[in-house]
Amino acid sequence: MSSIKKIKLFANCIPVKGAERSLICDLQRNRFDFIPNDLCEILILHEGKSTTEIKYIYKNLYDEIIDEYIDFLLEKEYVFFTHHPNWFPKMGLQWQDPFRINNAIIDVGENFEFEKILFELDSLKCKAVEFRFYDQKAIKIVNDILNYLQLKKSIISSVGFVLHYSEETTEHILNAIISNNSRVAYFVITNSPKNNFIKSLSNNVGYIIYTKDVVNDATHCGLITNMSLVINTKLFTESQHHNTCLNRKISIDKNGNIKNCPSMTESFGNIKDTTLEEALNHPNFKKYWHITKDQIEVCKDCEFRHICTDCRAYTENPEDQYSKPLKCGYDPYTNEWEEWSTNPLKQEAIEYYRLQGK
């Protein structure tokens, strides 16, 4: 045993290198910090060595900077010193899930037969479902859905609703629904007069978001901003192997077409005459499931790639399934977040998807 302690990252603090800067993703405390790329390199190449060794490797030219870096890492509790670096293995980045489908988006249209859809989702053991409504008068259907789930003791354990603002969407009414139904994960009320976030009354489930965003059809989806970053082990590990939007997802658009997501063009049959099971078994159904951020243009150079979700329905080049999400305004080469919709380079794709003014 050498008497000099070696530097070790806590295994749940993982550096991710981007084109111009890097992140340390703290998967345990659900936060991140920006770090310069040269520090990221030190961590990736020289973890397990002593400070003296690291300084020597850099020819003792940067001793002060290295000391500063290490002070920062210690203060944030990203690293520790140990005589036995090999006792502390890296965390495995495997991602596993016992469900063939684990989330669904259902757009509610005119001939919406919720009993049939819920029955099929239940037999697929899909636990999380989001219902999106594009007109008012939705609360009755919301209640019907929740009552049905309760009556059938459904395996669906988390339901979210996206609804238009109306006199039925007051905080009072929604909270009453939430307190009667432990399944309600959230309400998002669009087309609202103002933005507001109502914390859940219990245990973080059942929150309400009022947003001024105008949502009239599925084209609102796919927005990626610095607000939508999620730092946890589940997403980080899933992102190593799978697509972080479409993996294990099934959807029904407002006309009843079964799709990967309602915004996609390819349909795998209509719910009138096709079961979700049949759609799922279609050879093309899973084609996006394995497209990871490491394969997507631009994203593969982005430091946010493992804490950011993806979008395959709207991409900068609609012909290329590895093209960057259209509605992300981040540029990993300049480190700036900009408004995506006014970017001149995106106008062609915006026209292609008919997203003008949305």
Distance of closest approach, residue 87 Cβ to another protein, in angstroms: 5
Q: Do 23 and 44 meet the contact criterion of CB atoms below 8 Å apart? A: no
- Of another protein, ligand SF4, none, which one sits near residue 224, judging by CB under 5 to 8 A according to partner kind? ligand SF4
Q: What is the DSSP letter of 145?
A: H
Q: Does 137 bind another protein (CB under 8 A)?
A: no
Q: Does 154 bind another protein (CB under 8 A)?
A: no
* CA distance linking residue 244 with residue 29, whole number of Å: 21
Distance of closest approach, residue 165 Cβ to ligand SF4, in angstroms: 21
Q: Which of 154, 115, 150, 121 is nearest to 251 (CA)?
A: 121
The mark string for 47-86 relative to another protein (x by CB under 8 A, - otherwise) is ------------------------------x--x--xx-x
* CA distance linking residue 259 with residue 238, whole number of Å: 21
CB-nearer residue toward ligand SF4: 174 or 221 = 221
Element (H, E) at 73: helix 63-75
Element (H, E) at 260: none
User: Which position has the token pair 């001149």?
Assistant: 344
∠ Cα 236 300 347 (to 5°)? 115
* CA distance linking residue 195 with residue 213, whole number of Å: 9
What does the block give as tokens for 284? 């093309």
Q: Does 11 bind another protein (CB under 8 A)?
A: yes
Q: Does 34 bind another protein (CB under 8 A)?
A: no
User: Which position has the token pair 């993703």?
Assistant: 25
CB-nearer residue toward another protein: 191 or 237 = 237
Distance of closest approach, residue 252 Cβ to ligand SF4, in angstroms: 12
* CA distance linking residue 325 with residue 310, whole number of Å: 7
Q: Does 29 bind another protein (CB under 8 A)?
A: yes
Distance of closest approach, residue 19 Cβ to ligand SF4, in angstroms: 10
Distance of closest approach, residue 82 Cβ to another protein, in angstroms: 8
For 60, phi and psi rounded to 5 degrees?
55, 25
The footprint of another protein on residues 106-125 (CB under 8 A) is 125
Q: Does 233 bind another protein (CB under 8 A)?
A: yes
- Of ligand SF4, another protein, none, which one sits near residue 3, judging by CB under 5 to 8 A according to partner kind? none
Q: Which of 21, 44, 11 is nearest to 305 (CA)?
A: 21
Interface contacts to ligand SF4, rule CB under 6 A = 221-222, 224, 245-246, 261, 263, 293, 298-299, 302, 304-305, 308, 311-314, 324-325, 328, 330, 332
* CA distance linking residue 246 with residue 261, whole number of Å: 7
Q: Does 4 bind another protein (CB under 8 A)?
A: no
Distance of closest approach, residue 139 Cβ to another protein, in angstroms: 31
Residues that bind another protein (CB under 8 A): 1, 10-12, 28-29, 77, 80, 83-84, 86-94, 96, 98-99, 125, 233, 237
